[in-house]
Chain A
Amino acid sequence: MTGSIAHDAPSTALRVLAGPPPGAGPERHVDHLARLGALPPARDLRDVIPVLEASGLLGRGGAAFPVGRKWRAVAERSAGDAVVVVNGAEGEPRSAKDRALMEHRPHLVLDGALAAASAVGAREIVLYVGSEHVAAQRALAQAVGEREREIGVHVRLVTPPVSYVAGEATAAIHCIDRGDARPTFPDVRPHERGVGGRPTLVQNAESLAHAALIARFGDAWYRTAGRGPTRGTALVTVTGLGGRMAVREIEYGTTVAEVAGLVGAALAGTSVRGARSRGANPGGSMRARAGLAPGLGAVPRAGEDRGPGAVLLGGYFGGWAALDDVRDAPLDPAVLREHDLAFGCGVLSFAGAGTCGVRATAEIMGYMAAESAAQCGPCVFGLAAIAEALRRLAQGTAGDGELDRIEHWAGLVEGRGACHHPDGAIGLLRTALPVFEAEFARHQARQGCSALPVKAA
């Protein structure tokens, strides 16, 4: 199906973000067509599912579920009446990649949704874009307007309220159907019964943009990018290295230090500290279990800028890692998973060595507790209890056994909500405890905070 395409496929690392520079604003349809050509015709798109499966494309909403397999599941149940939901909720506070993509490449995201609609047999597309992502909404609405006559399916925009859980798949369906962006506990999954009771494909906006390129250029092309087991490219959002949130497209397998370099920040001490870390950890593991992060618990002199000491990978559903352990780690979901780390939605949030890991973690868990949709007891009360205990630790008013209680509650919360919100939060907590081990111990012993009073970036 790709043979007749005269247009050049984007080469290596710049794919979904290839094209005009960010300052140029939303790409217009004529420019998009001149650059990439049209999508294959609808009758050909019905055969795109095996191509997607062969590409190995993984979902970019965080769970890294194979996109082709999901399209197949919906297609098998659709009687031509399925619904495609473009998930652009992006409630993750440290992620900006979906809104950046929707704003600058609206036609590529739309192409992905149209390809999905043809492939799974849908006659409706819902653009589900967080109400705070105004520029993305405008760009998509304009893109739909530019192609009104060509688009054969019903397209509508739904804007959920600002919330972390609004982007969860059942919350999206609930919001679209009833205006209530809280998760539900359905008997069957969205691919069987979703929007309006119809088979529904809920797919992250970035996932759809990659699918749009694969539909044009094929699975073999897609797999030419990537350095390790996971093929292709991915968007990442980088924060905490000074300046604003930066969105970049990388080849899977690009290292943490290289990503820092992409946003113009060299990670201090790459060779010396990296070498020491590896020496202590001969297996090449990116994260040893205990006694990590020699720099993080030590007392920095006031005002001393020692650069980042830790990095939050994958956002609030991901986890902390000591920078010394992951500096040269490949950003590849399969490799990271082997080390109990997550690529998640592609967030790399660096925290300075002067940042108190206890405080940073307390702030995140406080946020996650507040963002509970307040429906399930263990999520509501468990996350609140943990967040309170962490706040006491951070403020230097820890009671005896606070850390033990936190571990106990973590075990009670995990897996007991209707959605994975509490599991994501607990997963992050479980990475914080070893990475900031010395700092947690110091706070538990009420020995004060060794770090500078700096907020997590």
Chain B
Amino acid sequence: MAERLRLDPIRCDGYGMCAEVLPELVTLDDWGYPIIVDGPIPRHLLAHARRAVEVCPVLALRLQRVEAGGQGASGAGSGQVTTGGS
């Protein structure tokens, strides 16, 4: 099953270590906060992605399984996930 990077924007302090080890998928915005390419991580970048998760000093990054098709988090059974209406 494919995986994607999930960033907790509340935890993230913008140190940018993740962008250093995974520049293919992470760039930094004007204020130093990571912009992450969404969607399943290409197989050849998985090791780097795991490394990015490890180097984050505040544990703001996680790997998360994605269903086939690349949308949504595992265990998210309801449409509320995408609406923000919950």
- A-side residues, CB < 8 A to B, are 59, 61, 63-65, 69-70, 73, 169, 183-185, 188-191, 202, 375-379, 381-382, 385, 409, 412, 416-420
Residues of B within 8 A of A (CB-CB), count:
24
CB distance from B40 to the nearest CB of A (A): 18
Given contacts A169-B86, A191-B80, A377-B32, 15 further A-B contacts (CB under 8 A): A61-B85, A65-B86, A69-B78, A185-B10, A188-B76, A189-B81, A189-B86, A190-B86, A376-B9, A377-B13, A378-B9, A378-B29, A385-B30, A418-B8, A420-B84
Contact check, A191 vs B78: say whether CB atoms are below 8 A apart. yes
From A59, A65, A185, A202, B9 is in contact (CB under 8 Å) with: A185
Which residues of B from 15 to 65 have beta carbons under 8 Å from A? 29-33, 35
Contact check, B33 vs A377: say whether CB atoms are below 8 A apart. yes
Contact check, B31 vs A377: say whether CB atoms are below 8 A apart. yes
Q: How far is the CA of A378 from the CA of B8 in the complex (A)?
A: 12
Contact check, A70 vs B75: say whether CB atoms are below 8 A apart. no
Contact check, B30 vs A191: say whether CB atoms are below 8 A apart. no
Q: Tell me the dominant secondary structure on chain B's binding face.
A: loop
Q: How far is the CA of A63 from the CA of B80 in the complex (A)?
A: 10
A/B interface sample: 13 pairs, CB < 8 A: A65-B85, A69-B78, A73-B86, A188-B76, A189-B78, A189-B86, A376-B12, A377-B33, A378-B33, A379-B9, A412-B29, A412-B30, A419-B84
A residues near B85, Cβ cutoff 8 Å: 59, 61, 63-65, 70
Contact check, B33 vs A416: say whether CB atoms are below 8 A apart. yes
Q: A69-B79, A185-B9 are in contact. Are A416 and B35 (CB under 8 A)?
A: yes
A residues near B13, Cβ cutoff 8 Å: 377
Contact check, A202 vs B33: say whether CB atoms are below 8 A apart. no
Q: How far is the CA of A88 from the CA of B35 in the complex (A)?
A: 35
Q: How far is the CA of A169 from the CA of B77 in the complex (A)?
A: 18
Contact check, B12 vs A189: say whether CB atoms are below 8 A apart. no
Any A CB within 8 A of the CB of B70? no
CB distance from A420 to the nearest CB of B (A): 5
Residue of B nearest to A405 (CB): B30
Contact check, B31 vs A416: say whether CB atoms are below 8 A apart. no
Residue of B nearest to A58 (CB): B85
Contact check, B86 vs A70: say whether CB atoms are below 8 A apart. yes
A residues near B77, Cβ cutoff 8 Å: 73
Q: How far is the CA of A202 from the CA of B77 in the complex (A)?
A: 18
From B9, B35, B76, B86, A418 is in contact (CB under 8 Å) with: B9
